[in-house]
Chains A and B, each alone.
Chain A
Amino acid sequence: MKSEQPVRKSYGEKQVTESPIRVSSGITVDVQRLHKVYRGNARKGHPDVLAVDDVDLTVREGELVVLLGPSGCGKTTLLRCIAGLERPASGEIKINDRVVYSSKNGTYVPPEDRRIGMMFQSYALWPHMTVFQNVAYPLASLTGYDKESTAARVQEVLTNLGVAGLDHRYPGELSGGQQQRVALARALVGSPSVLLFDEPLSNVDAKVRRRLRAQLRDLKKQTSFAGVYVTHDQEEAMELADTLAVMENGKIRQLAPSREVYTRPVSIYVADFVGEINRWKGRVESVANGTAEISTELGRFTVTDVPGTVSRDSTGWLAIRPERVGLTPAGGVADDKTHRFRGKLRDAIFFGARFEYRIVMAGTEITAWLPDGAQYNFQPLAGDEIDVILPKDSVRWLAE
């Protein structure tokens, strides 16, 4: 690790005004009321697209925020705005308390002056440079690196990422995983204040992806870098995120630790995006003190812990994760903590770590996941009548 502080050179023009020593607000990236519009062409019938719609986002020191959403939801645009590769329409972005974009006073700091590191979806390794040249590239823009310290720093980073000895190869001669690490090395080498990741794992096969994910997680633990990570892969998001931001149509729908997003999603859209969920359409009959009476085709439910925004007659979804659904042989009686329905097993599928049961009940279908082993004392066959148990505290009311 490079312990000595490189001396900061001073150039005549464009002096950076902030002190290099952080005035610690604890916030690495601060995005406020950000808008980004892609202009359409009215004559051709292409309307304007609001890619980022009034987004607030903060990334604290050492925090990795994962932007999750389907393609076109604006997550990459948001990332590129933070990087400076896109110019927003309005709003403010601060990196390490330095305003890098502000529509109010017309500030726009170009990407090369934002002191960030980034991993691209395509890795964006320069094919005409060796691994060494690629990784050393960011250092040339920094003061305090001479030839020797550059070489030492590059070797250090390559070694730490397990790709030492490749420095004279060209990217075209490396495997996908090696390229990945070189790209990561390049992103890290300049010790940037924030790391941005633009779906960096979407181009490698599943096995390599898992390994690299684990490596990233380790790296994160050891160095606690702050970063923003864009992905459409729910598992990847869960594994890496300190905070998960689920995006839809340019807006952040929910910003919370991943466990909270999974267990207490704010909408069916968010719930659906972070995992599978059973759902029935329903209507609020009455609501009081965070408890609502919901009518569905399965009957009436009492649901606790509903958001204050829910009002009478609003429609939405009654939902439960498949792993929360219980199954017992037909004939038992519901207690006051569960709902109980009679159903008919349509199919049972073995997935290794779990069994998946698909049950038809009251004209609808429900999926239940039971861990492998649970079937020793209970082995229903397709066509059997069984009882489906829905724990009351696991049934959630979700807005559209």
Chain B
Amino acid sequence: MSHFNPLLAAGAVALTLAFTGSASAQGIGHIEQPDALIKAAQKEGKFMIYTSADESQTKPLFAAFEKKFGIKGDFVRFPTGPLMQRFASEADGRNVQADLLSVSSPIPYEDKPEWFADLTPQAVPNLAKWPAQWVAKNHFTWTTEIVSLAYNTDLVPKGTQPTKWTDLTDPKWKGKFLLTDPQVADNYLGWLDAVEKVNGMDFLKKISVQDYKVTQSGASGAQMVAAGAHLFNAPTFPSFSNVLIAKQAPIAVQYMSGPSVLSPRDYGIVKAAPQPNAARLFLNWLMSDEGTKATCAIAAYSVTSDPEGKLGCIPVRDGMAMDFKVPEARKQALAKAIGVAK
């Protein structure tokens, strides 16, 4: 029942792609949405996304896209586990419903490459301008966010909150914070792997004796912090707190350092997509400046194609990329060290 959902944090990879707002002005715009693709897509008239992202992110984008092209988007939204179970069952049954798949892990795409179409500029023209380091064979990283900490501003005055991961071992937090179970998803486990690589097993063991409580869901964690049940919750993603911040809840997000860990959200096109053209058009639109602006107008995201935040996005910050291929034995050892498994 839990999952993370990377909406965008901030980051600061100094990417040096020539593409900016001015670049589009120079004429990339005309290839942004090829007429033939639009025609074919409009003939299909609709498309379906399987996503683990929050519907508050998906819905406005669909609305903007439908307004522009008259093509209706539909989505199935679940945590990655059930989402992929369902996707896999349909793929095996040769009854694919999804045209696009968006999850915050590269594993599904790499695990079953036969399910996804190769990403080429021929298929999706705007891919040509996407930073090459964020593009793989059959998927690309659309947004990133930094693993963070959500704290209650009534109970932890601003300025006294932890800012780096080693602060969690401070005895003053003992028994008062909420840890998100890193076992629940690959990008929490990626965080655990990253902080251990920087701070060592001893650091994890120090956390394990802090008598923390555990949540299986980032969304629940943020709300318990907002209610004052715990002083703070980590690791988490800002998207969980955004809803609460919008409602004036006493909660704030701290982007953590030491290390800053980057979590990606990826997109891929399903090979057997029933509406392949509409899917490609949507993806192409999403990768356009217009799509990026629309994305960053919803909430504070970092889009990898806008590293400096020129289109209204949070700049992509420097950080440590997550390793999604942590061996099983190491996963267990890490979970044991931090005290969530025995």
The answer to whether any beta carbons of A and B sit under 8 Å apart in the complex is: no
